[in-house]
């Protein structure tokens, strides 16, 4: 789905179950177009708060007089993208086990499904803090940048790393809230996290003049605040839910093994995706502070687009998954067709927006004219990106809904190889244009590799009882 954050599941992913069948098997009662927007609209609103945060980070430091500030935030944030997104399974796995307990009405297991990932999240978060020295040494060794950029990025890293336990606990909390179908609570939590962060960004950086440290402190405080708010929401939800904390159940070895194994394919796929973006930033950093800053701004525009289109990908995931569960190939095809049609229309609208207003948007990010000029020069790649990227996002949603994660893992491995070959061959020849061309080839490869597996996926969906086996 969205490219970064990864495959990062968003707070609304499993918030709404498919509507009961009406008419055609698996068809939503509200009609396909209405159902797509009922699902996609709230997800888009929630999703866009995440790239808005990154955009505000860049915009506030873009008011500072040196492009190295923007590069420092880009490098520092990238390290945490890699660290935290890799643990996205805490959210997805928690949702899976919580939903099973919720559907079974098992209040005891519902509490256990929360306790296990919370313990795991705390343990992993503390481990990241303990290992912060070696992690930083490896990260800054791989991400080559100028001395000033590395100095700023290191300041960001040494402050924000202390938020690791809270950030991972937030994943587990969101996963549990999704599994219990508390969509409104997940939306409130996500908006609170990003709203606090944005407000503190402005206060610390522009108001108090703390620079890069202000951005890092804003994120740390926001993540801790969101974790505390999330725990308060959980306490209220559990108060009327019955059951009690059964530590023998929580400690069951088979449940822990299942938790650790779940979403392994998506974990590997996410690491490959993060590596691709990390490599993109690393190559840009080698070109100098100005290209790095310009690419960081353009990547924010890519992320806005990706999170917007991801709303339709999640709608495809929910509706296609419901059709698979209803054993209706007709409904599956309708879900894919209608959600993709709306996604394509949205992609065309975003491309048109970037073509018409792209330079004005770039100017909002920084006052440095040299960075503005370089970003504007490469803006045509962002105009083309929605039209290329939409297909991979939609196919990601469809394959996740059908639980064909092994195919996604394999497709991402092939796409990453294509991307690396593209970088090695195009960047020496075309410079930063070659880097963006390799990126678009990567997005296209993601779509093509999944498209080749799609016919087999559709054939695997049970045909409707009143339809021929071929589905024709």
Per-position pLDDT tens, the chain of length 472: 554 443 333 333 333 333 333 444 444 545 767 666 665 556 566 555 555 565 676 677 776 766 777 777 777 777 776 777 767 667 766 766 676 566 567 777 788 888 888 988 899 899 999 998 888 887 777 666 677 777 778 888 888 889 889 989 988 888 787 667 676 777 788 888 888 988 898 898 888 888 888 888 998 999 899 999 999 998 888 887 666 666 766 666 666 666 666 567 777 887 888 889 888 988 888 888 888 888 888 988 888 888 788 778 777 776 776 676 667 788 888 888 888 999 999 999 999 999 999 899 888 887 788 888 999 999 999 999 999 999 998 998 888 767 677 888 899 999 999 999 999 999 999 999 999 999 999 999 999 999 999 998 888 876 765 554 444 3
**Residue 54 within any structural domain of the chain:** no
| Domain boundary, last residue among 262, 295, 314 | 262
The domain total for the chain is 2
Within 10 angstroms of residue 66's Cβ, the number of other Cβ atoms is 16
Q: Residue 463 gets which letter from DSSP?
A: P
- Determine the 3-state secondary structure of 404 from DSSP: coil
Contact residues for 117 (Cβ-Cβ < 8 A; gap 6+): 90, 93, 94, 171, 172, 175, 176, 259
**Residue 191 within any structural domain of the chain:** yes
Contact between residue 419 and residue 441 where contact means Cβ atoms under 8 Å apart: yes
**Residue 337 within any structural domain of the chain:** yes
Q: Residue 204 gets which letter from DSSP?
A: I
| Domain boundary, last residue among 262, 288, 307 | 262
Tokens of 109: 């297991």
| Domain boundary, last residue among 238, 262, 286 | 262
- Determine the 3-state secondary structure of 145 from DSSP: coil
- Determine the 3-state secondary structure of 10 from DSSP: coil
Assess whether 286 and 399 both reside in one domain.
yes
Assess whether 150 and 209 both reside in one domain.
yes
Phi then psi for residue 119, to 5 deg, are: -65, -45
Assess whether 436 and 377 both reside in one domain.
yes
Q: What is the pLDDT of residue 401?
A: 64
CA distance 451 to 220: 40
**Which is nearest to 201 in space by CA: 52, 312, 34?**
52
Q: What is the pLDDT of residue 281?
A: 82
**Residue 57 within any structural domain of the chain:** no
Beta bridge partners of 22: 24
Assess whether 278 and 244 both reside in one domain.
no
Assess whether 250 and 274 both reside in one domain.
no
Q: What is the pLDDT of residue 14?
A: 35
What DSSP assignment string belongs to 159-172?
HHGGGHHHHHHHHH
Q: What is the pLDDT of residue 34?
A: 67
Q: What is the pLDDT of residue 241?
A: 64
Domain range enclosing 131 = 89-262
CA distance 125 to 162: 9
Assess whether 279 and 398 both reside in one domain.
yes
Assess whether 174 and 303 both reside in one domain.
no
């Amino acid at each position: 789905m969205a490219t970064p954050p990864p495959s990062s599941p968003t707070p609304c992913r499993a918030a709404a179950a498919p509507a009961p069948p009406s008419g055609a098997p698996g068809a939503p009662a509200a009609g396909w177009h209405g159902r797509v927007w009922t699902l996609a609209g709230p997800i888009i609103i929630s999703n866009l708060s995440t790239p808005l945060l990154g955009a505000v980070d860049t915009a506030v430091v873009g008011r500072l007089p040196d492009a190295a500030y923007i590069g420092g935030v880009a490098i520092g944030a990238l390290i945490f993208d890699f660290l935290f997104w890799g643990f996205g399974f805490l959210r997805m796995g928690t949702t899976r086990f919580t939903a099973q307990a919720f559907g079974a009405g098992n209040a005891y297991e519902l509490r256990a499904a929360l306790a296990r990932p919370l313990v795991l999240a705390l343990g992993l978060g503390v481990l990241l803090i303990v290992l912060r020295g070696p992690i930083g040494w490896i990260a800054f060794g791989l991400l080559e940048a100028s001395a000033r950029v590395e100095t700023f990025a290191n300041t960001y890293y040494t402050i924000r790393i202390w938020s690791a336990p809270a950030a991972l606990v937030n994943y587990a909390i969101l996963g549990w809230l999704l599994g219990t179908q508390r969509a409104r609570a997940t939306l409130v939590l996500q908006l609170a996290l990003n709203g606090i962060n944005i407000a503190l960004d402005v206060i610390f950086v522009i108001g108090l003049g703390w620079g890069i440290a202000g951005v890092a402190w804003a994120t740390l405080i926001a993540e801790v605040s969101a974790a505390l708010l999330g725990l308060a929401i959980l306490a209220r939800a559990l108060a009327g839910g019955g059951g009690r904390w059964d530590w023998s159940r929580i400690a069951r070895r088979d449940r822990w093994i299942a938790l650790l194994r779940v979403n392994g394919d998506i974990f590997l796929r996410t690491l490959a995706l993060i590596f691709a973006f990390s490599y993109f930033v690393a190559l840009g950093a080698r070109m100098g502070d100005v290209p790095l800053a310009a690419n960081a701004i353009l990547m924010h525009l890519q992320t806005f687009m990706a999170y917007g289109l991801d709303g339709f990908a999640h709608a495809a995931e929910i509706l296609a998954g419901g059709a698979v569960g209803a054993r209706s190939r007709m409904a599956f095809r309708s879900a894919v067709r209608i959600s993709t049609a709306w996604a394509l229309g949205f992609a065309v609208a975003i491309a048109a927006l970037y073509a018409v207003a792209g330079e004005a948007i770039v100017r909002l990010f920084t006052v440095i004219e040299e960075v503005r000029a370089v970003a504007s020069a490469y803006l045509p790649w962002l105009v083309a990106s929605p039209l290329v990227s939409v297909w991979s996002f939609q196919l990601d949603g469809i394959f996740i809904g059908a639980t064909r994660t092994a195919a996604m893992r394999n497709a991402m491995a092939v796409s990453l190889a294509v991307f690396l070959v593209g970088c090695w061959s195009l960047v020496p020849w075309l410079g930063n244009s070659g880097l963006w061309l390799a990126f678009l080839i990567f997005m296209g490869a993601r779509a093509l590799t999944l498209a080749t597996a799609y016919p087999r996926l559709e054939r695997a969906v049970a045909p409707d009882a009143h339809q021929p086996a071929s589905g024709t």
